A and B are shown apart, each in its own frame.
Chain A
Amino acid sequence: MREVSYFAPTEVGEAVKLLDQHGEKAAVLAGGTDLVAQLNYYEIKPAALVYLGELGLDYVREEDGKLVIGAGTTIAHLLNNDLIAQKFGVLAEAAATHASPAVRTSATIGGNLGTASPAGDMIPSLMIMDADVVLASSKGQRTVPIQEFFTGPGETVRAPEELILEIHVPLLEGKAVFKKLGRRKAQVCSIVSTAVRLEMDGGVCKDARIVLGSMAPTPLRCVKAEAMVKGKAIDAALVAECAAQAVAESTPIDDQRATAWYRAKAGTALVDRALAQAAGI
């Protein structure tokens, strides 16, 4: 029988030393809602499991105009958190669409980043706020802007000896909206999702962030679509053009959930609605 080691460190310093020791042969375990399914189906065979649940990383704080979210914060806790509700409501909206109540009890925001699915529900909201991801290793900490964190489906810049420690979210202005489309209303991996944030001054957009999920190898910032609306008066015609541009920057694929054709059509409608809602028109 294959022997697997198990560790439940109680301090980050201990955890990163374990990752140094075991490197790529270790799997980091937070909520387990992605990892344990892979173990159950023998898709991964780590030599060691490092459980992060006792590191005390489940917290949400406000510091210097930013929200500091511990990577171990469960999706259920984000849904019930007053600071999130008051200052980062779009994240709670996204959290409510994530899997199901029982999965949300265990799943963590750090895990959603670490799994790095292009469909990750928590990611678009973080991207429209220009969030930073803080990684810890035995060498110290480093901060990676979330735009640079994902390198491909399931791939990030996190090295095997690093763990995701915190997410820092600047409390940027503007109205943020998240929308998710799935094959049904509950417990779905998105066919297409979007988060947008528009900073409006009267009817004019001062700044924009537009992100598409499930439409590219990673969650996607649609920078040309953002440039299209920045500094302009927002009306229905511009919103329609912008939504089409956002989808034009994406590379949807055919998969078991939907075809690229459908994703492009539905995605255009989704972004259109999100922009209109954010612009208040």
Chain B
Amino acid sequence: MKQILSFTLNGSPVDVIATPTETLLDVLREKLGVTGPKRGCDDGDCGTCTVLLDGEPIRSCLTLALTVQGKEVLTVEGLSENGDLHPLQKAFHEHGAFQCGFCTPGMLMSAKALLDHNPNPSRNEIREYMSGNLCRCGSYEEIIEAIQAVAAGEYAPSGGKE
């Protein structure tokens, strides 16, 4: 029972055919060529598939595609604006907050949601909010520092580091 799925992806309207058992992750990667979100476990534990749905973090591997009808999805591809990296991306880069990079899209999306909800999180609040994103390379400390640096305004678009 294929259906046309219409939703907003990284700010632009998109239409795609989806079947009922396809997940949002399947549709993003296989049908729309959006490979930022990764398939790490397919059961919601690792966090590499994390995207934002109407501004909230979700597991795209656990979300059936047809349930995002009419909603807004943001992936890591949607973070940069006008060719500029998002402050979180700049901070991750400069703080060495990734090694293999596999967890990074999910980490960035969770971090964005965190700072959108709580612009000045404590270290413990960062750790709690990021607790659903696993990093097998062990870049946790650098990830926390990068998030702290953005929260402290070191990557503000109007000033700070370029």
Find B62's partner among A32, A49, A185, A186 (CB 8 Å cutoff). A32
User: Looking at the complex, which of A37-45, A134-142, A155-163, A202-210 is the stretch in contact with chain B?
Assistant: A37-45
User: Looking at the complex, which of A14-22, A101-109, A216-224, A249-257 is the stretch in contact with chain B?
Assistant: A101-109
Find B66's partner among A8, A99, A103 (CB 8 Å cutoff). A8
Q: How far is the CA of A53 from the CA of B43 in the complex (A)?
A: 20
| CB of B99 closer than 8 Å to a CB of A | no
Q: Which residues of the other chain, A, contact B19 by a CB distance below 8 angstroms?
A: 4
Nearest-neighbour CB distance to chain A for B113, whole angstroms, equals 8
Q: Are B58 and A40 interface neighbours, CB within 8 A?
A: no
| CB of B122 closer than 8 Å to a CB of A | no
**What are the interface flags for A159-183 relative to B under an 8 Å C-beta threshold, 1 for contact and 0 otherwise?**
0000000000000000000000000
| CB of A76 closer than 8 Å to a CB of B | yes
Nearest-neighbour CB distance to chain B for A25, whole angstroms, equals 13
| CB of B104 closer than 8 Å to a CB of A | no
Q: Are B56 and A186 interface neighbours, CB within 8 A?
A: no
Nearest-neighbour CB distance to chain B for A2, whole angstroms, equals 9
Nearest-neighbour CB distance to chain B for A37, whole angstroms, equals 4
Given contacts A51-B64, A105-B56, contact A6 B20 (CB under 8 A): yes
| CB of A236 closer than 8 Å to a CB of B | no
Find B43's partner among A5, A29, A37, A51 (CB 8 Å cutoff). A37
Given contacts A102-B47, A102-B110, A103-B44, contact A5 B62 (CB under 8 A): no
Q: Which residues of the other chain, A, contact B59 by a CB distance below 8 angstroms?
A: 33, 102-103, 106
Given contacts A37-B62, A102-B57, contact A51 B67 (CB under 8 A): yes
**What are the interface flags for A86-104 relative to B under an 8 Å C-beta threshold, 1 for contact and 0 otherwise?**
0000000000000111110
Q: How far is the CA of A5 from the CA of B3 in the complex (A)?
A: 10
Q: Which residue among A3, A4, A40 has the maximum number of chain B CB atoms within 10 Å of its CB? A: A40
| CB of A36 closer than 8 Å to a CB of B | yes
User: Looking at the complex, which of B28-36, B82-90, B125-133, B151-159 is the stretch in contact with chain A?
Assistant: B125-133
Chain B: interface residue total (CB-CB under 8 A):
31
| CB of A187 closer than 8 Å to a CB of B | yes
Q: Which residues of the other chain, B, contact A41 by a CB distance below 8 angstroms?
A: 42-43
Given contacts A41-B42, A100-B47, contact A49 B21 (CB under 8 A): yes
Q: Are B1 and A5 interface neighbours, CB within 8 A?
A: yes
Q: How far is the CA of A100 from the CA of B23 in the complex (A)?
A: 19
Find B58's partner among A5, A39, A105, A187 (CB 8 Å cutoff). A105
Nearest-neighbour CB distance to chain A for B2, whole angstroms, equals 9
Q: How far is the CA of A106 from the CA of B64 in the complex (A)?
A: 11
Q: Which residues of the other chain, A, contact B74 by a CB distance below 8 angstroms?
A: none
Find A32's partner among B56, B64, B113 (CB 8 Å cutoff). B64
A–B pairs, 27, beta carbons within 8 Å: A4-B1, A4-B20, A5-B1, A6-B20, A8-B66, A8-B67, A33-B44, A36-B23, A36-B61, A37-B42, A40-B61, A40-B62, A51-B64, A99-B44, A100-B132, A101-B131, A102-B58, A102-B59, A102-B110, A103-B59, A105-B53, A105-B57, A106-B59, A186-B128, A187-B45, A187-B131, A187-B132
Q: Which chain B residues have a beta carbon within 8 Å of chain A's beta carbons?
A: 1, 3, 19-21, 23, 42-45, 47, 50, 53, 56-59, 61-64, 66-67, 69, 110, 113, 128-129, 131-133
Q: Which chain A residues have a beta carbon within 8 Å of chain B's beta carbons?
A: 3-6, 8, 29, 32-33, 36-37, 39-41, 49, 51, 53, 76, 99-103, 105-106, 185-187
